[in-house]
Amino acid sequence: MDYSGQPEEYVKAVIYGIEGVYDNAMVIFLDPNKKVIDFYEVMKNNGDIDKSTQFKIEDFIDISIYEDALKTMIERGGNSTLFQSLMEEFKQNNME
C-alpha cells in the first residue's frame, strides 16, 4: 500500500473486488505471459512509454522459472488436472 500511495481499502478493492459491489479490475496470474510484449509495444505507440526508451521488456521476462515449476509439479503427479491445464495456458501465452 505504501508503494502505491493509495488507501489500503482501494488497493484491496481493485485487486480482489468487493462482493456484490465491485468486480476486481485486476486479474493476477502467476504465468509470466510473454505476450505482454505486444501490449508493451502498444503502450509505446500510444505514448504511454517513451518510444526511444532504452529498455526492452523481453530482457525482463524469464519464462523458464514458471515452466520448470509446472513441469516439476506435473512430474510429482498431485493435482495433475490443474497443472496440466496451467501448462496448456502457459504454452498459449508464451510459446505461440
- Would you call 38 exposed, middle or buried from its count of C-beta atoms within 10 A (0-12, 13-18, 19+)? exposed
- How large is the angle between the packed helices 80-94 and 64-76, nearest 10 degrees? 160
Among residues 59, 40, 58, the alpha carbon closest in space to that of 50 is found at 40
Sign of the alpha-carbon torsion through 82, 91, 94, 42: negative
Among residues 61, 59, 69, the alpha carbon closest in space to that of 32 is found at 61
- CA pair distance 35, 9, nearest whole angstrom: 31
Domain regions of the chain by residue span:
1-30, 31-94
Please give the model's pTM, rounded to 2 decimal places.
Answer: 0.65
pLDDT digit of tens for each residue in the chain (96 aa)? 577 889 998 888 888 888 888 887 767 788 999 989 999 999 999 999 999 999 999 999 999 999 999 999 999 998 889 999 999 999 999 987
